[in-house]
Amino acid sequence: MNRKDALTEVFMSGLAAQPEAEPNFHQAVEGVARDVLTVEKNDADYAAARVLACLAEPDRVLSFRITWEDDTGQVQINRGWRVQTSNAIGPYKGGLRFHPSVDLDTLKFLGFEQCFKNALTGLPLGGAKGGADFDPRGRSEREIMRFCQAFMGALAPFVGPDQDVPAGDINVGAREIGWLFGAWRKHRQSFGGALTGKGLSFGGSEIRVEATGFGLIYFLSCMLHDRGETLEGKRVLISGKGNVATHAALKAMSLGAKVLTLSDTGGTLYAPDGLTPEAVNWVRIRKARGEDIAHPPASLGPRYKADALPWEIEADIALPCATQNEIGSAEAAQLVSSGVTIVAEGANMPLTHEAATTLQSKDVIIAPGKAANAGGVAVSGLEMSQNAMRQSWTPERVDAALRDIMTEIHRQVAHEGRVPGGIDYRRGANIAGFRRLAKAISAQGVV
Ligand code: NDP
């Protein structure tokens, strides 16, 4: 066993959370530990502060009951959480997810990853994640609004511009952020930048909705530039049909790429000659209305392949933008057979450990979500700046700032990840994020 593996094994055996109880959290911590423990051990201050162990034990986990009334007058009960992982470099910051699959394991993994992602942006943003096991599917607008109000009723004391600033995530879009913000304002009797992703008329930022998908493509462009290539003519597979997937598709197309797919849990929308912006906008409208995409109008071009994944189609680049662990070993093998040479993660941790190993063994370059999808939180950080300054910046200004941030993230990650023959982006992102966190944590004493 080499030194890196030995250090990782000792560290993981000391983790309070158990792998059977919190598999996603374990997977995320182990992935980072492999890359950063040697950096920690080689710096006396970082080692003394036990930086990674601090980050692997959240500052605080809030767990609360959400009680609300459905349209028939029945009382409904859900569980909500906010995992405040670290505020060492700024107020807690990370999204809220409403989905039946939400549990503490998922939120601890996402909060941990968020710390590194936020550190990479260079902005003063700590790490957190939250949500509830609430399923909005089949619920009326009024029910979702009442749920949001009840959720914030429980969380409001712990949320504020300098305290904890949640944003959206799966099933929490601009509409839900509006309701959550309204409830926070009422509970706290205050107006401030306590959430991001707000509407433009009450403190939201231009480009926030587009930011994650656009940022992903800016990062991908930097990767290609490093290899002397561009997106022009590249065939791109995208999974998901949500906020990240559709905006990544639109930006990639605008830079000359051929986007062959989008997808959802039922199947894949496939256009052999490339989707058009009209087709992507049709998907966005259907998704916003909660309608499926199984029957695209013939005039739009693509067809829907039920139960199919995008990964078996021949292409150059894959952008998983749906959910965690959506690509396992079998899907990774398909990607290799399809000729894909770059996988850039729009979703958080879409690759299982085995999938990443398979891809790396075949020299497929992987851009990890903590770097590649940091554009969303970066523009959230810019929204917080605008709120604090009582300003609203133009779309051009925000977009330019987003592009600069993604370029700078790429520079740092490439610098730390440079290995003989190329760049190990996963390692680079872990180390670059860790260094910023470690400097802050070790400088602030034992707290
Ligand atoms: P959305 O809720 O807007 O969309 C997610 C979509 O993915 C849904 O339409 C869902 O389809 C689909 N989906 C879910 N599971 C699968 C699957 N196994 N296969 C295919 N499709 C699937 O979410 P976002 O676009 O906001 O987020 C997507 C990912 O990106 C998440 O991992 C999120 O954490 C991450 N992310 C999001 C950011 C943001 O700013 N929004 C920022 C950074 C990361 P269906 O309708 O069938 O359920």
Query: What is the domain-level CATH number for residue 265?
Result: 3.40.50.720
C-alpha to C-alpha distances, 438 to 14, 38, 298, 333, 429, nearest whole angstrom: 19, 13, 54, 36, 14
| Three-state secondary-structure class, residue 71 | coil
Query: What is the domain-level CATH number for residue 173?
Result: 3.40.50.10860
| Three-state secondary-structure class, residue 204 | coil
Alpha-carbon gap, residue 327 to 334, rounded angstroms: 10
Alpha-carbon gap, residue 263 to 261, rounded angstroms: 7
Alpha-carbon gap, residue 315 to 159, rounded angstroms: 44
114-160 tens-digit pLDDT: 999 999 999 999 999 999 999 999 999 999 999 999 999 999 999 99
Q: Domain check: are 116 and 8 in the same one?
A: no
Q: Domain check: are 325 and 446 in the same one?
A: no
269 pLDDT above the threshold of 90: yes
- Find the 137 Cα to ligand 1 centroid distance in Å: 14
Q: Domain check: are 51 and 67 in the same one?
A: no
- Find the 229 Cα to ligand 1 centroid distance in Å: 29
Across residues 8-21, what is the average pLDDT?
87
pLDDT at 268: 98
Alpha-carbon gap, residue 260 to 313, rounded angstroms: 8
Angle at 402 between CA 289 and CA 86, to 5 degrees: 85
Residue 323 near ligand 1, beta carbon < 6 Å: yes
In a domain, 295, yes or no: yes
330-388 tens-digit pLDDT: 999 999 999 999 999 999 889 999 999 999 999 999 999 999 999 999 999 999 999 99
The helix-helix angle for 395-417 and 375-389 (nearest 10°) equals 130
- Find the 266 Cα to ligand 1 centroid distance in Å: 13
Q: Domain check: are 49 and 74 in the same one?
A: no
What are the backbone dihedrals phi and psi of residue 76, each rounded to the nearest 5 degrees, phi first? -115, 145
**pLDDT more than 90, % of the chain:** 95
Q: Domain check: are 53 and 65 in the same one?
A: no
- Counting from 1 in the atom list of ligand 1, the atom nearest the Cα of 322 is 7
- Strands 342-344 and 75-86 turn out to be unpaired
Tokens of 277: 């912006």
CA atoms within 13 A on the CB side of 95: 29
284-315 tens-digit pLDDT: 999 988 899 999 999 999 999 999 999 999 99
Residue 59 near ligand 1, beta carbon < 6 Å: no
Residue 322 near ligand 1, beta carbon < 6 Å: yes
- Which residues contact residue 75 at a Cβ distance below 8 angstroms, ignoring those fewer than 6 apart? 67, 68, 69
**pLDDT more than 70, % of the chain:** 100
Across residues 184-189, what is the average pLDDT?
98
- Counting from 1 in the atom list of ligand 1, the atom nearest the Cα of 168 is 41
1 pLDDT above the threshold of 90: no
Give the type of residue at 2: N
* pLDDT confidence tier of residue 18, bands split at 50, 70 and 90: confident
Catalytic residue, chosen from 117, 129, 234, 251, is: 129
17 pLDDT above the threshold of 80: no
Q: Would you say the pTM of this structure is higher than 0.75? A: yes
Residue 345 near ligand 1, beta carbon < 6 Å: no
pLDDT at 349: 87
Residue 239 near ligand 1, beta carbon < 6 Å: yes
Q: What is the dihedral of CA 415, 421, 424, 427, to 10 degrees?
A: -70
Over the chain, what is the mean pLDDT? Answer: 96
Residue 212 near ligand 1, beta carbon < 6 Å: yes
Is 129 tagged catalytic?
yes
Cβ atoms of residues 405 and 13 within 8 Å = no
pLDDT at 2: 80
431-441 tens-digit pLDDT: 999 999 999 99
Residue 75's CB is within 10 A of a number of other CB atoms, namely 8
Q: Domain check: are 106 and 17 in the same one?
A: no
In a domain, 31, yes or no: yes
- Counting from 1 in the atom list of ligand 1, the atom nearest the Cα of 350 is 32
Q: What is the DSSP letter of 191?
A: -
pLDDT at 97: 96
Residue that finishes a domain, picked among 363, 379, 407 = 363
In a domain, 416, yes or no: no
* pLDDT confidence tier of residue 20, bands split at 50, 70 and 90: confident
- Find the 308 Cα to ligand 1 centroid distance in Å: 17
- Find the 443 Cα to ligand 1 centroid distance in Å: 37
In a domain, 123, yes or no: yes
| Number of residues assigned to the chain | 447
Residue 169 near ligand 1, beta carbon < 6 Å: yes
* pLDDT confidence tier of residue 19, bands split at 50, 70 and 90: confident
Q: Domain check: are 67 and 185 in the same one?
A: yes
